[in-house]
Structure 1
Amino acid sequence: MTTSRTPSPFAAGETSLIVKLPEAEPIVRPWRERFDPSAAYGVPAHVTVLYPFLEHARIDARVVAELRGLFAGHAAFEARFARCGRFPGILYLVPEPEARFVALTEAVAARWPEAPPYRGQFDEVIPHLTVADGEDLDAVERQVAAGLPAVAHARSVSLEVFDGERWHPEAEFALGEQSGELLGPKPSY
């Protein structure tokens, strides 16, 4: 049986860098599954560090090593989500401290200026965990806010790749450590 799905907003070969936040999943999963289109493509609860990053074809052993070193220079940290925020048509959780996520984004964007956050569409980086995308978000916000606060641990940054149908983790970079783990079969860098 096939299911119809709207065309993907993502292109095959796109990559992103995200901090996965599994501790927030119990609060946001039901809403993300219904109201966040990225969840249908395999994106877990997260705060984006940089999207889009480099095209997958450009990511080689040198880029992986540079990412590993860059993230090793940033300590792991705890993030608290105690309130909701809004962009037009989007409900999200606000991470505190925001500055730690901003620092990660700025470090990557400074090293790869050809990959500005969100294609340079916005003047300011506002870290967030998207919960829902839609018209009437007040009821969702009330339900989500009732489950807050959530505390999550930012221990690593995941390099995610879109294969044309789903997002998949390709590499995980520990914050504050020199090790980095490639996931799945080793890519041919």
Structure 2
Amino acid sequence: MTQTGESALVLPVPEAEAVVGPWRERYDPSARLGVPAHVTVLYPFLPAHRLDAGVLGDLGELLAAQGAFDLAFTHCGDFPGVHYLAPSAGAAARLNALTAAVAARWPEHPPYGGRFAEVVPHLTVAYHDDPGPVAAGLAPHLPLTARAEAVRLLVFDGARWVRRADFPLSPKEPR
């Protein structure tokens, strides 16, 4: 259950909205709360009251040092009760590196609160018990390509997830 003042770092994937939007509106409660189609970079992140100018500056510097990259969602995947688009192996490695960089800077906030031994990058499409209709609806649109250019900081205000800031990734390869 989401708590007021929680924050999240996500990589928006606007190129996916036309394909996943109808499914997300129907089967992903976060879509109705203002969360765009995305890949999670770090959730939960710092509580909103700790998101001061210093933290925002640190995030901006850290993320600007990361290079923008191309994404390709090549197939559908499933966790129990969750259906998602899975990125190619190369894109997954870049997404994992992005999460690792942020988690290394704020180790007191591990991905998903440390609940999972392995973080699997994905774009959640539906919380639903039967993956068949979702996968059949998505398959004709794959691969779906996008460009990872910025990370968005979202804060839950008690009713909706609100954009707090966007942090561009460098247009050049990382140092």
TM-score (norm 2): 0.94
- The letter for the 2-side match of 1:113 is P
- Shifted more, 88-97 versus 15-24: the winner is 88-97
- The residue number in structure 1 matching 2:146 is 152
- The residue number in structure 2 matching 1:183 is none
| Distance apart, 1:56 and its partner CA | 0.4
Q: 2:20·2:125 contact (CA, 8 Å) conserved in 1? A: yes
- Among all aligned residue pairs of Structure 1 and Structure 2, give the percentage whose two residues are the same amino acid: 54
- The residue number in structure 1 matching 2:92 is 98
Counterparts of 1:99 and 1:136, CA distance in 2:
28
- Within the candidate set 134, 158, 162, 1:164 is matched to 158
- Shifted more, 139-148 versus 124-133: the winner is 139-148
- The residue number in structure 2 matching 1:64 is 56
Gaps of 5+ in 1: 1-8, 178-189
Counterparts of 2:93 and 2:65, CA distance in 1:
15
- The residue number in structure 2 matching 1:187 is none
- Shifted more, 17-26 versus 136-145: the winner is 136-145
Whether 2:80 is the aligned partner of 1:88: answer yes
Counterparts of 2:128 and 2:134, CA distance in 1:
10
- The letter for the 2-side match of 1:146 is P
For the aligned residue pairs, the C-alpha RMSD in angstroms reads: 0.9
- The residue number in structure 1 matching 2:36 is 44
| Distance apart, 1:81 and its partner CA | 0.8
- Equivalences for 1:118-129 in 2 at 5 Å? 118-129=112-123
Whether 2:9 is the aligned partner of 1:17: answer yes
Of Structure 1 and Structure 2, the greater helix share is in 2
Greater C-alpha radius of gyration: 1
Cα deviations by residue, 1:70-106 (Å, 9 ceiling, x for unpaired): 0011100110012011101111001121011101111
Structure 2 residue matching 1:145: 3-state secondary structure: helix
| Distance apart, 1:140 and its partner CA | 1.2
Counterparts of 1:149 and 1:103, CA distance in 2:
22
- The residue number in structure 2 matching 1:181 is none
- The letter for the 2-side match of 1:71 is L
Q: Number of matched residues?
A: 169
Structure 1 residue matching 2:4: 3-state secondary structure: coil
| Distance apart, 1:153 and its partner CA | 0.8
Counterparts of 2:13 and 2:153, CA distance in 1:
14
Whether 2:125 is the aligned partner of 1:131: answer yes
| Distance apart, 1:47 and its partner CA | 0.2
Q: 2:78·2:131 contact (CA, 8 Å) conserved in 1? A: no
Counterparts of 2:134 and 2:167, CA distance in 1:
33
Counterparts of 1:117 and 1:163, CA distance in 2:
21
TM-score (norm 1): 0.87
Counterparts of 2:167 and 2:133, CA distance in 1:
37
